[in-house]
Structure 1
Amino acid sequence: MYRVLVVDDEEIIRNGICKKIGRFFPELEVAPAQENAVEALNFIQNNRVDIVLVDIKMPMMDGLEFIAKAREHHPMLKFIVISGFKNFEYARTAITLGVNDYLLKPIDNDEFKMRIQSLLEDLDKNREKQAMESTIKTKAYEGTTYKKNRYLSELISADAEIDTTELLEDLKEMEIIFKQKKYVVITIVADNIKEIPKFKNVSGLEILQYAICNVIDEVFANWKGYSFTHFKYDNQFVLILNTDTTIARYFLIEKANKLVTILENIYGLNLHIGLGDEAEAVEDVCKSYRQSIQSVMQCNLSGIGSVCSFTEIKIKKSDIQIITGLKKDLLESFIKTQNEIEIRKCLQEIFKEAVKNNYANVKIVCLDVYFIVLKLLKENEKDTDIALAMFEEIEGAISANSSIEVLEGWLENKLVEVSLLFSKSKKNYGRPLIEEIIEYIEKNYSKDISLGGIAKKNFINTSYLSQLFKKEKNIKFIDYITGLRLEKAQGLLITSSLSVNEIAEAIGYNDARYFREVFVKHLHVTPSQYRKEHAVN
């Protein structure tokens, strides 16, 4: 609701204008009318006002002087000047001060309604514009955070397509620099992060994620090395430690246990923490990460404690396996040959023989299946993050106390899905997949999205997706996303007051200089020149 203030030294006129506003615009709130400019100035300094109707000729301070002083405190205020004199000098001064309109006494009702309605439309447009710019700036900030998480996630995931040199340069621009030669990755999983009452909605979850990252940084602060924390999934946080000397295992376990205690006491979180072995090259950070994942899963599913290191599970792993010998070999064979019937039959037998309604054994079966899938993916040079994603889903089902029957059925379906990855004939996903990808791009163009990332998300080969996209849309993927981003940039240059750098960030370019180069290449003018040529009064 907008608020209107009337300033006039004549009581009859003041009251008459207030009544007009109430009659013609009942949705507006009328502030207490003021009889002189001095009192009015004091009022707007202490109260919210959107529109001011002010007389020019008043004692103590005239209306034009009042407008000039009021503008110093509230530059966005809308003013309508009211005067009994049709004086050009007054009108010219009023225009110089940015007055929005000018009404002559006696005030005509139709004229009054038209002027007020016009101001209300301007205010509505300004609000929409401010809301849009606020959203864009928020997206730009979120995009920066997203990029940090994305780059660090790529580093630990060891995607064969990633150029490590390029990736390290990207991280360097975000002030993430690995200065030492030894690395250890620690994975922290907060099992019940979505169950904390104060943080159950989406924004609450994001706040909690940032808070957890801050606590992790504090716990591992003040040591002789560097630490970099990010969240890879909603409930998974990854800490990369970088130092020039070997880090004592007891030191890491002590810090990890301290973290478990602090986050349990502050937020009621149930943590499991896995420690990877030390890596001696940045290219091997991915190995330490995978070791930390295996550690945290062993820790979680086998119930051996809140903190576990890879060194420990190498010793204990063989003691808790359930799927062994012939059954394991058979299951691997059925997955590789896409034999759905035998996959389901084999799992049913495993559950019948090994689980025997013991929920603890269910967890171990899930862990064994993870290692089987991971081994097959590695041997066939496929994306091992598929195994991790599969495991995280079933881990969530276990956390939700799903029944043994539900878990068995879920594992069967998931292994059948995974088996399709080993098919020698490529599946033609066609138009439905491309339309789904287009929708994803429309929602995420402000983020650092790539063809490789989308291909991984849909479990298909990057080159194949590139060919499929070109076939269905008659345009290359990179040209499509560039065109979309430039289209969004043109709109923002015309309709917003965001700087060129902010617009670049908002549409997915973290390098404003590169954005300018792309813009000039396609539109043959700079962003600033485009804004001037298409300026809207």
Structure 2
Amino acid sequence: MKKVFFVDDEPLIAQGLSSITDWLQYGIEIAGSANDGETALQQIKEEPVDLLITDIMMPRMNGLELIRRVKQIHPRTRFIVLSGYEEFEYVKVGITLGIENYILKPINIDELESTIRHIRGDWEREELNLFRYEEDWRVLRSNILQRWVLGEIEGQEFKHRAELLGIPLNYKYVQALVFRVISEEKPISRLYRLHGLSEECGVIARETIDSEDEVICFPDADEDLVMLYVSDDPEHHQSILENAPATARRISEMTGLPVWAVSSAVSSDFYGVQDSYKQAKQVFQQCLISCQDRTVYMNGPLTKVEESHSVIWDQEQYVRLLIDGKQEPIIEFIESMLLGQFENDIIPRSECMNMAIQLMLSAKDMEDRPDYSEVFAALARMNTIQGLIRHVISVVQRSLGNRDTVQQEYSGHVAMLLEQVKEHYAEELSLKTLSQKLDMHPNYLGQLFQQEVGLSFSDYVNQYRIEKATQLLIHTDQKTAEIAVSVGYTDTSYFYRQFKKYAGVSPTELRHMYTK
């Protein structure tokens, strides 16, 4: 909040200025008042103010001299001059000193408030420009640091830039810790200002280190928070590792999100920090975590996680579930495959991702016009097994929805018949039986169905069953007789005739064509 100070040799005016308007509505608090310029100057030296409202004619030091003296020590202070009479010379001097306004007594409240609003607008613009300058400086500093840890800047250039940007180079040992704030729905930059978050995290990190050491904190291109701990004593790095989990917890509390922290070996070459940074980043590239806790801390390079993991799964069973289209057993299958196969807290990323991709592609392949981009686009943001499972389920559910979407609006009765076919196509379906549930005559219901769908009810049921049988023939190794029963045909010869009628080829011919 901004501060205002009043100066007038008439005590009633100096005190009355505090109540002449509601200063708080302008974001201004009253810092105090004085009855002469000398006293005012002493108080302002001890406690700077943003706005000074002063009379001209006062004992010991007049208002214009007070303004000159205050500007020398606090150039950003703004001024409003009060006077009992209008003197052109005073106005002229005041203008050269940069006053905001020259207000005659008795004070016109509207004019005073108008001046305050104008000053407040100037303050807001100054703060915005200052923010932009500071933000530009932060971005430039981060870009230089990113180039440094990636080995994309020459030593001499980095040394020169480091001096300009206040990056300390007078330390011997460097250790990289990388903190990943996990947000798999949105990028972190959509939730926080990365450079502001980085500065706050730097403050947290500095609380845990020796006063002789330093922390260089910045966001990298992947929106991870990189903390470079620099010291002249290699023994200090042990305490850094001990405090890393606590730092991760503080960052998690601050953001409200899980945090995954990875440390690396100490580098004894300040310009060789690239290896230290690369070690930490490789962990994110090679692992997923279970994230059962809010924070995960990993110290050192990977060992067991790098071992291959052979995934065994029943693709035929999964395809049958997809063809059947019931979501609950599909979700249970997906969860059992990913959670059941990968039970450790640290999970090999490549094997788990391959499994997830197979689950998603099996569903997408059944669409008429599949969009595969949604399968892969979000995978780079996945850091936890739980997040990956949610992504797989979401893609599969949309795929089922795309596959079963009805392209036009139907009446309630016809929509009910379509839903019955979808849910019970493998069972006996009779228009007569269904019409009784709707309390309608079967002939009228059949005419309504034909009119809206363009097929008779029996033709639609047969076509739907043949589509399901086609998917099973293509995607599984089930015997044709078993497929016939599973889609609602107890008579195999009748199934063959219907299949040839709707598909144009026999089941055997179709399977042979697809295999070939």
Superposition TM-score tier, normalisation by shorter sequence? 0.3 to 0.5
Instruction: Provide TM-score, normalisation by structure 2.
Output: 0.45
When the two structures are superposed, what TM-score results if normalisation uses the length of structure 1? 0.44
More helix by share: 1
Q: Which has the higher contact order (CA 8 A, sep 6+)?
A: 1
